[in-house]
């Protein structure tokens, strides 16, 4: 009889972990596929006296 209780406890833990994994995947999918909303964020990087161009040339090997 005690073996049944131990197996039942293992099944409960397994069911909890699978449920948590499903909730995590659904939450991640909702976050990723919630739509391409423009939040108005704009990042601009400006170089001083051509520094940005020099870095670009150094990175590309020109």
Cβ–Cβ < 8 Å for 45, 52: yes
Q: Is 50 exposed, middle or buried (0-12, 13-18, 19+ CB in 10 A)?
A: exposed
Which pLDDT score is estimated for 54? 80
Q: How does pLDDT run across 5-60, given as a tens digit for each residue?
A: 556 677 889 999 999 999 999 999 988 887 666 667 777 766 666 777 788 888 88
Cβ–Cβ < 8 Å for 48, 54: no
Instruction: Delimit the domains of the chain by residue range.
Output: 2-60
Q: Does the pLDDT value for residue 3 go beyond 70?
A: no
- Which tokens hold the place of 52? 């940005």
């Amino acid at each position: 009889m005690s073996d049944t209780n131990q197996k039942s406890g293992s099944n409960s833990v397994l069911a909890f972990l699978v449920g948590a994994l499903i909730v995590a995947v659904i939450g991640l999918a909702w976050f990723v596929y919630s739509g391409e909303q423009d939040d108005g964020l704009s990042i601009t990087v400006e170089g001083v006296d051509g520094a940005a161009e020099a870095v670009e040339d150094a990175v590309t090997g020109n």
